[in-house]
Each structure stands twice: as structure tokens, then as C-alpha cells.
Amino acid sequence: MNWQDEVSKRKESLFQDLYGLLRIPSVKDGQTSEPGAPMGKEIGRALDYMLELAERDGFRKANLEGYVGYAELGDSESDDYVAVLGHLDVVAATGDWTSPPYEPTMREGKLFARGAMDDKGPTLAAYYGMKMIKELGLSLQHNVRFIFGTDEESGSRCMARYRETEKLPLAGFTPDADFPIVHAEKGQINTRIVLGKRTSDPSVAVRTVAAQGTAASWRLLSFFGGGTANMVPESARAVLTAVETERLSEMAAAYSLYCESRGRKGAARIVAEQLVLSMEGKAAHGMEPELGINAALELVHFLVAHSFQEEAERFLRCVDQYLFEDYAGEALGIAFADEISGALTINSGILQFEPAGESFFHINLRYPVTDEASRILEAIAERVGKYGFVIEPPLLKKGHHVAKDHPMIGILQRVYQEMTGLAPVLLSTGGGTYAYHIGNGVAFGPLFPGKTSLAHQADEYIEVDDLLLSAAMYARAIYELANAEFHEQK
């Protein structure tokens, strides 16, 4: 079977259907949530669109109260099936776009639109893979179910509902990450670490008034950095004042020298006897904090060299000691790595200090699949507790891992290697996909090695040739998985 030839025959139809889906601005919207469309009107419209395609193409279909839908192929009387999972929701189209984000546009062999890469383009490519199998009349040992999710970008409530009512598949993949195969997803810990009014540990070397023999020279009035927990902060701002206001200019000059020495872009302004310091960094995804520049931690590192009131001292010294230029958790005593999923990473995406309000820093932590969240939290609590911080009840997500000897892994490796000529190495990620929710699930594409992704960014695109090759690989993968022998998932 020449799968690529079969895709070429359907290219015009594939893009016509994809354009229709991309024109729907399916961003989650609680204000338009209603029965049958719990994620909002536009996501509900996107789900209806895909289920209408499924009906047109002769698949069995189901709609689980608007949370999730599916199209099913095959005539097996067993309730076992293999699955493909795509999501129809997208993030908001912020930033400056060259062409309208919800009007698909071709330029230089690329299709530009919000969702072109994440995840509508790959979803339609995989859907057409299943559609080709049906049109070619190929026999299948197992049924195939294409699951259309609606809430991948903000909590995956769709898959939680699916698991409540549906049997899990024997195996499956989602076209929502990288090629070759992502078979491991790190566990995640998300929580705020909040500053109490005083520290109960006298061993902490905080420069108090008694220790200095004089009042603190500076007072921190506020500090804000970041705004999204799973992103590296690209901006931060601090407001401070001095006992001797003539020293404001001296501090502003010192800040300029600090920024110059570290190659950072910062600014200092004196306003009504207050000094306002701002810092610019570089945004990056929280699973790869080393790729960004954390503006908040850069600003803290400058401030910690000066003396402030006791509460501010504890905030600055704790943050600087345990987070500055430490993406692996070495200072917190939590560093760990394994061969399956690599090293632990930690990102602080939101930092706030308000003397009359809450002072905290948020951590977004990704840990290897063989590690334990309890070990990590205990170590963090011990260290930050010395400065009077407490950990709020965290949101936890366990790691996910499909063993390399699972039959599905071998099938996908063979498909990838034979159709691309590239080595089918196994990958891990600090991010999360629908694969996590189905047990024996992996991510399979759509991003090829060495290619750039603008998912979640302005001018998001997918390369046309890559989309077509993906569709061919998805068709072959679905066919081979649907005829493989699996042990039933318990």
C-alpha cells in the first residue's frame, strides 16, 4: 500500500475540511458555557463540525454531553478498540499576526492559522488516515475510535468525563507533540509557597534589625513578576523606598550597572520618593525553564544584596537561595534524573510580595517518572520553612510511561523509520498530552526533528508537506495498530 499516494488523492478534500475547522475560534469561554457545550459556544461548534464530518463519512459517532465526542470504525463485536486522540480547543490568538488567525492562509508551503499545528491540523491529518482505511475497505481486527477532546489546553475535563463513562483503549496515540515517539511524560507539581508573618527557625541567617544593629536601609513596597504559572516570567517590577531618600539615585545607578553586567534590559525610575525597578527577561515554557530568562529572579538577585525590612528579607533571600539560576532543584535538595524521562526541572512563573497582602512564589515542577512527589514536597517544605514559608496543597499529576517493549512502540517505530528514513528514537517530555489519560498511550508527531513550532504563538503554522506525510504515517499506524495483538489493559 502506498499511503502517500492515497493521501495525495485526498489532498484537496483534506484541506477543505481543515479550513472549515480552522475558521472556528474554538477558545474556551465560560461565559457561553451551556448544556451540550460546557467549554463554550465555539468549542461546541468545533465538536459539532467534526461529528458532522464523521456522519458524512459513514462512521459511528457519539457525543458525550459536549465534553468529548468520537467517531468509530470497524465491525468487531468486542468492546476493545485502539484510539487516536486529537483536541479541538485552541489558545487565544494573541500577538501580531501577518494574516488573520482564524482565516487559514497559505504562504511559502506553510499553512498559517491558530490551531494549524496545535492541534487541528494534525487532528485532521489523523482523521483522514482513518477515513482512508474505511474508503479502501481494509479489514481490521480491532475497532478504531477517534476521540475528539475539547479541553486539552486548560485542564482536560473532557478526558476526565470520558474516563467516567467509557472503557479505555487497548492502545492509542495523540498527534500532539513530536516525532518520533513521546513515550514518557514527567509528573507535575503545581503549588504556591506562601510567606508567613515570621519565621520560627532562629537558625536562618536573615539580616534582622538586631543582627545589623540598625534599621534596614530600604523598604520593599511591592514586587510582582510573571503571571502564568507554567511560563518563565518575561517581566518583573519592584517598588521600594529608602530611609534616606537621597539614596534613591544611588540605587538607580547601581541597578543600571547590574543590568549592564548581566546583559539584561532593565529600567529605574524615581517617582514621588519611590524607586520603581523593572526587568525584562525572555519567556519560555515552564517545562524548559533553561530556555528562558526569568525576569523576576534576575530582579530578586539584585535586591537581595541590599538590606530590607525583615519580611522582605525573608522573601528575597529564600527565593534567591533556592531558585536563582537553578532549574534542576539542586539548592532545594530535589535534583533527580532517570534514563526514561531525564532530569527534574523547576520554574517559578509567578512571584509576589505585598507587605499588606499576600507574599508568595509559585512553582511549576516537572519530575521524572521514577521519582515521587512526596519526596520532593518534603524536601521543599523543610527548606522554605526555615524562612517562614508554607506550601499550599499542591495540584499533582503523576508521570506517565509506556515501556519500550510494548507492541505499539515497535509498530510506531517501524512506521516512522520506514516512511522517513530517520532513527525512531523514544522521547520524553515535561509537558502533558492526552496520552496520559488512556494508560497505554503515546504522542506520535506532528513536529518533525529539527523543525520549529510556533504553537501558542503568533503566526502559528504547519508545513504542508509535513502535514501530508503525517497523514500517510497516521493511516499506516492506525491500520497496523488495529491489526496488532495486545494484552487487554487492566
The residues that are catalytic are: 89, 152
Q: Which three cell numbers stand for residue 34?
A: 451551556
Which residue in the block uniquely carries the three cell numbers 467517531?
Answer: 71
Contacts 24+ apart (CB under 8 A), 410-413: 411/477, 411/480, 411/481, 411/484, 412/173, 412/180, 412/181, 412/442, 412/444, 412/477, 413/180, 413/181
Question: What region, left, alpha or beta, does residue 419 occupy, with left being phi > 0 and alpha being psi -120 to 50 degrees?
Answer: alpha
Q: What three-state secondary structure class fits 350? A: strand
Using left for φ > 0, alpha for ψ between -120 and 50, and beta otherwise, residue 22 falls in alpha
Q: What angle do CA 92, 94, 95 make, to 5 degrees?
A: 160
- DSSP-derived secondary structure for 208-247: -HHHHTS--SEEEEEEEEES-TTB--SEEEEEEEESSGGG
CA distance 198 to 180: 51
| Cα separation, 468 vs 121, whole angstroms | 10
How far is Cα of residue 399 from the mean position of the Cα atoms in its chain? 14
Query: In angstroms, rounded to a whole number, what is the distance separating the alpha carbons of residues 92 and 455?
Result: 11
No. of helices (H) and no. of strands (E), the chain: 12, 26
Distance CA 411, CA 406 (A): 9
- In whole angstroms, what is the distance from residue 379 CA to residue 375 CA? 6
Rounded distance between C-alpha atoms, residue 45 and residue 47, angstroms: 5
> Which cell numbers in the block locate residue 58?
459513514
CA–CA dist 385, 27 (Å, integer): 40
First to last CA, the chain: 34
Beta carbons of 456 and 395 less than 8 angstroms apart: no
**Nearest CA-CA partner of 121 in 221, 211, 19:** 19
Dmax (CA) of the chain: 86
286 φ, ψ (degrees, to nearest 5): -60, -20
